Amino acid sequence: MIQVKNLTKKYGNHLAVDDISFQVKKGHIYGLLGPNGAGKSTTMNIITGYIAPTSGSVTIDGHIMGQDTLEAKKCIGYLSEIPPLYPDMFVKEYLDFVAKLKKTAKEGRVKEIEDVMERTGLTDVANRLIKNLSKGYKQRVGIAQALLGNPQIIILDEPTVGLDPEQIIEIRTLIKSLKKDHTIILSSHILSEISAVCDDVLMIAKGKVVAMDTTENILKMNKSGQNLAITVKGNASKASEVLKNLKCIESYELVSEKDGQASFNIIAKDSEEDIREEISFALSDARILIIEMNASKASLEDVYLDILQDCREEEEAEAEAVEADNDDKADDAEEMDSIVWSESEDDDVEEGGEE
Ligand code: ADP
Ligand code: MG
């Protein structure tokens, strides 16, 4: 349905989008996840034909953006980061205005607007001024205008930003309900948003793709695998002896030992395998009673933080390499500067912070 190939966008010297490629299948909800400044809005503005890429191509249902632009744009309904709402218009009046702009068929227009208002839960506020609506309702109006003309693809840039928790759930439910008739791309810097709504995730940072897979697979990517917290009766060393010899365990650590109980955190070797059975049998063979056992899967958040951390480390390594290079070339005056710097940094060093 959507093909994005080697998309690159430079603003002056700044590379905002760096060689991004992906495909979106019909009927899927595709999530663009990344921190602020990652290049999500830029990517969406290119896909929707609002701005041109520096290089690369976007094909929408066979129409090449930039060549077959009108046809390509007709396939897309877009809710941009700042929705183009007119506060002094009534909801219905505004939607009628947008329908005319989109040149939707004149006959059936009234019915279409009514349908769209019904789907987005706006019927009751049809005759209210947009400026008097809550943020959640304003966002519904934004989504409603994207739906006009019944485009196959809906693109939503951070659709729940600034909403309260209840409104977020309402908008998410609305987005999910659109899936049956539309292909959707959604951006967010919030992980739970993506994992709750999207089938596929494209994670970007600093304009680059850092991960791309189904939401399900991304969740499996966690390096630390499946975690298990157990508490057993008795002293730690006896249980430790058992855990040490189990092949399904990657590593384990003693968390606490008190009141005749010992608690361990266990990491499985294979994140897919359920190791609870093996552990409980082994412990009961050794006549050790398990008091508590909790399995926890990695959340998308862990994975996201892992990936961002990796990016940051890479960046720091690069920066250090550049710095080392510059240091070689530095003259005496600059060296003096850096000495002053490192002295002032010393003030921040905490000494004897560890017990
Ligand atoms: P996101 O939506 O993920 O927060 P954006 O696509 O808005 O990220 O921005 C990506 C990068 O490009 C940022 O560093 C931003 O400052 C820069 N940028 C965005 N728009 C422009 C512009 N019109 N001119 C110059 N730089 C821009
Ligand atoms: Mg943005």
Question: Taking the CA atoms of the chain, what radius of gyration do you get in angstroms?
Answer: 27
Judge if the beta carbon of residue 11 lies within 6 A of ligand 1: yes
Q: How far is the CA of 130 from the centre of ligand 2 (A)?
A: 23
pLDDT in tens, the chain (355 residues): 999 999 999 999 999 999 999 999 999 999 999 988 899 999 999 999 999 999 999 999 999 999 999 999 999 999 999 888 999 999 999 999 999 999 888 899 999 999 999 999 999 999 999 999 999 999 999 999 999 999 999 999 999 988 888 889 989 999 999 999 999 999 998 887 888 899 999 999 889 998 888 988 876 665 445 678 899 999 899 999 999 999 989 889 898 999 999 999 888 887 667 788 899 999 999 999 999 998 766 566 666 777 777 777 877 888 888 887 776 666 555 554 544 444 444 444 444 444 4
- pTM of the entire structure? 0.72
DSSP code per residue over 305-318:
HHHHHHHHHHHHHH
Interval between CA 16 and ligand 1 midpoint (Å): 6
Contact 286, 242 (CB under 8 A): yes
Calculate how far, in angstroms, residue 202's C-alpha sits from the geometric centre of ligand 2. 15
CA of 186 to the centre of ligand 2 (A): 11
Q: Which atom of ligand 1 is nearest to the CA of 9?
A: 12
42 CB near ligand 1 (under 6 Å): yes
136 within 8 A of 164, measured Cβ to Cβ? yes
SS3 call for 272:
coil
Which of 7, 9, 10, 11 has the most ligand 1 atoms within 8 A of CB, as the residue to mutate? 11
Dihedral angle sign, alpha carbons of residues 72, 78, 81, 83: positive
Question: How many CB atoms are closer than 10 A to CB 345?
Answer: 9
Instruction: Determine contact, residues 213/200, Cβ cutoff 8 Å.
Output: yes
